[in-house]
Amino acid sequence: MTANPGATSSAGPAGSGEASLVKFSQCVRDQGFSWYPDPQPDGGLVVHNPDGVDQSKLAKAEEACKKYQPGQGRQGPLPAEDLKKIQQVSQCMRDHGFAKYPDPDANGSLTIDSQTLGVEPGDPAFQKTMRECQKFMPAPKSSKGNS
């Protein structure tokens, strides 16, 4: 399976996850995608592709920057415990009215397509629900006790 354009990725249990995601985002921007976001304060990375993005070029940029993505150094899929937490985020989004919100793949990535979802990522209701559902996201090991 190739990189998932428009994916939401969790920093997962990586100790320096946030710093690595910042490097990953900067790397993708350096590949010509100036709109590519930095990770959120909770360590997650939510990417919503603007209209007209060449998916194959974005996938190549994400692949080129993969070395900076937390968890890419380990072999195999995301630990089952973390994957289950990311699945809870997806279920939470569906429970709150976003019925077409996808489940993550075995690596914890998921593709969010605003046309399929039926809502733009900047929609205030979507943003509010995402903030609420992020409570299920696995916390990076470097978190300060409170999640």
Report whether pLDDT(5) > 60.
no
Q: How far from each other are the two terminal CA atoms of the chain, in whole angstroms?
A: 32
Which pLDDT does position 16 carry in this prediction? 46
Report whether pLDDT(7) > 80.
no
Range with lowest mean pLDDT among 2-6, 105-109, 113-117: 2-6
User: Which residues on adjacent β-strands are paired with residue 7?
Assistant: 111
Q: Model confidence over 59-103: pLDDT tens digits? A: 888 888 878 776 655 545 678 888 898 899 999 999 999 998 988
Which pLDDT does position 64 carry in this prediction? 85
Report whether pLDDT(104) > 50.
yes
d(CA 23, CA 111): 21
Q: Model confidence over 22-47: pLDDT tens digits? A: 888 899 899 998 888 887 666 667 77
d(CA 34, CA 4): 18
Which pLDDT does position 88 carry in this prediction? 92
